[in-house]
Amino acid sequence: MRDANFIAENNAKHMWHPMSHAGEMRANPPKVIAKADGVHITDDQGHRVVDGVGGLWNVNLGYSCAPVKAAIAAQLDDLPYYSTFRGTTNPQVIELSYELAQFFAEDGLTRSFFTSGGSDSVEVALRLARQYHKLRGQPERVKFFALKKGYHGTHFGGASVNGNANFRRAYEPLLPGVTHLPAPWDYRNPWGLTDGAEIARRIAQDFEDEIAFQGADTIAAFIMEPVLGAGGVIVPHESLMPLMRKICDKHGILLIADEVITAFGRTGAWSGSRLWGVQPDLMCTAKAITNGYFPFGAVMIHEKLVETFETSKSAMAGVFSGYTYSGHPVGAAAALAALSEMKRLDVASNAAARGAEMLAGLQGLKDKHALVGDARGKGLMCCIELVSDRETKAPASKEAVAKVYEAAYSHGAMVRTSATNVIISPPLILSSADVQTIISALDAGLTAAA
């Protein structure tokens, strides 16, 4: 390992960072996070803070999860890699598929297809949806519906169903045949409504209208995050997902739940679909499945799809998708240990309890600081949206957002800013004291930016 001067001198010089402008990163290099323990991270200057970001919504069990580390180390000794392409497999991935079928039994999901991360999981789910209809003799069902403000990763399929222009414009043209419905958002929506149930009803009505216009027999699937994450932690009304499920069923459209963030407890329920009492046809997972220690994901498949794929004699019935690292034994070993730890610690219950404290704290900040236009969240996915004028909801300046971020960091908490949103997604093992550290750091941040 080179010395600290070398690291500082070369920071952002020879790499382009994801979701960033390469020139801006050279001019203003990122913080170097050098160590982590529990729910804390420490930078190369020795400054230690509570990680309000949880890595990137993924380090749910924190940074000192010994069983996951031990499982990875042991697996590297036993079998560091072997392919799961047709003809070979490994014991860890067999056990993991069994455990996931138990874990997601309540969601009706009985099969897994393994990937290397969230974008892969979305890509596979979109493909399986089209293939399902082809195998059932409805080859024209190729279109997708999604929500504005939804985030579904960066592959071409995922970017096509993404509901944020930032992830689309530079890479267009994207997949044809994608329709976006309004975001289920009571703070900003096209109707000027604040009643979540009415907003949900309007979105469902728009969905029905579009289905009638386009033809149900042209539509493969509707994809949504149970709670929209990267788009600014938008919590739909509890009626939305059940309404969309009903419409999908009525018209033979598959429902894909993108649970890359929400699976494994973050919302306070073990899955976001379960939170809203819905069984999806396909569920995309990744991130916390290995506690973020190994790049890994799983598409979970509902029992309803199983017979079509497993008994079809069609030449198209094989799943001709997959990755070199699908079912990686080290990832599978990490996931087995992570699943066991998340259940042992009941992190979903802690996310619900600490999330309620966090949201109360954020609402207190809204009462105190005019810069906060909205405070929202579910479980341990929370957000404050910064505005320069509460009446008009005009966005806060870039400078104000940057001040909140820097001052919060110097006062003890890493948070994530995305446009004018300050997003909080800490490890699910957070304590009440850690919640208060994040709130008081944000309080200092908002004071500095006032």
User: Measured from the CB of residue 446, what is the shortest distance to ligand PLP in angstroms?
Assistant: 26
Output the smallest distance, CB 356 to ligand PLP, in A.
23
Secondary structure of residue 6 in the 3-state scheme: helix
| Strand 394-395 with 381-389, pairing | antiparallel
Beta-bridge partner residues of 257 = 224, 283
Minimum CB distance to ligand PLP, residue 313 (Å): 34
Taking CB under 6 A as the binding criterion, the range among 46-54, 147-155, 171-179, 343-351 that sits at the site for ligand PLP is: 147-155
Among 65, 72, 122, 181, binds ligand PLP (CB under 6 A): 122
Is residue 49 within a helix (H) or strand (E), and if so which, with residue range?
Answer: strand 48-51
Tell me which of 54, 55, 229, 412 binds ligand PLP, using CB under 6 A: 229
Read off the amino acid at residue 46.
Answer: G
Instruction: Please state, in angstroms and rounded to a whole number, the distance separating the CA atoms of residues 125 and 285.
Output: 10
Q: Compare residues 225 and 357 and give the one whose CB is closer to ligand PLP.
A: 225
Q: Which of 110, 119, 418, 421 binds ligand PLP (CB under 6 A)?
A: 119
Pick between residue 207 and residue 323 the one whose CB is nearest to ligand PLP. Answer: 323
Q: Is residue 327 within 8 Å of 118, Cβ to Cβ?
A: no
Positive/negative CA dihedral, 102, 105, 111, 116: negative
Contact flag: residue 225 with ligand PLP (CB under 6 A): yes
For residue 119, the minimal CB distance to ligand PLP (Å) is 3
Position 55 contacts ligand PLP (CB under 6 A): no
Instruction: Give Dmax over CA atoms of the chain in angstroms.
Output: 66
DSSP 8-state secondary structure symbol assigned to residue 288: G
Nearest to 427 by CA among 4, 26, 38, 59: 59
- Spell out, one character per residue from 315 to 354, where the chain touches ligand PLP: x when CB under 6 A holds, - when not: ----------------------------------------
| Phi and psi, residue 45, nearest 5° | -95, 0
Please, what is the minimum distance in Å from the beta carbon of residue 282 to ligand PLP? Answer: 13
Member of 126, 211, 230, 414 binding ligand PLP (CB under 6 A): 230
Distance of CA 41 to CAs 50, 133, 437, Å? 6, 47, 14
Question: Which is closer to ligand PLP, CB of 220 or CB of 230?
Answer: 230
Neighbouring CB atoms inside 10 A of 358's CB total 27
3-state secondary structure of 297: strand
Taking CB under 6 A as the binding criterion, the range among 150-158, 332-340, 355-363, 399-407 that sits at the site for ligand PLP is: 150-158
* Contact pattern for ligand PLP over residues 231 through 260, marking x by CB under 6 A: ---------------------------x-x
Question: C-beta of 258: minimal distance to ligand PLP in Å?
Answer: 4
Number of residues engaging ligand PLP in binding (CB under 6 A):
14
| Tokens read off for 340 | 């066991």
- Does 261 engage in binding with ligand PLP (CB under 6 A)? yes
Rounded CA-CA distance 425/353 in Å is: 14
Helix (H) or strand (E) holding 156: helix 156-161
**One residue of 113, 151, 293, 323 binding ligand PLP per CB under 6 A:** 151
Q: Give the tokens for residue 256.
A: 């894909």
Q: Residue 351 or 441: which CB sits closer to ligand PLP?
A: 351
Only segment of 97-105, 206-214, 222-230, 302-310 that touches ligand PLP (CB under 6 A): 222-230
List of residues 6+ apart from 104 with CB closer than 8 A: 110, 271, 283, 300
Q: Which residues are at the interface with ligand PLP (CB under 6 A)?
A: 117-119, 122, 151-153, 225, 229-230, 258, 260-261, 286
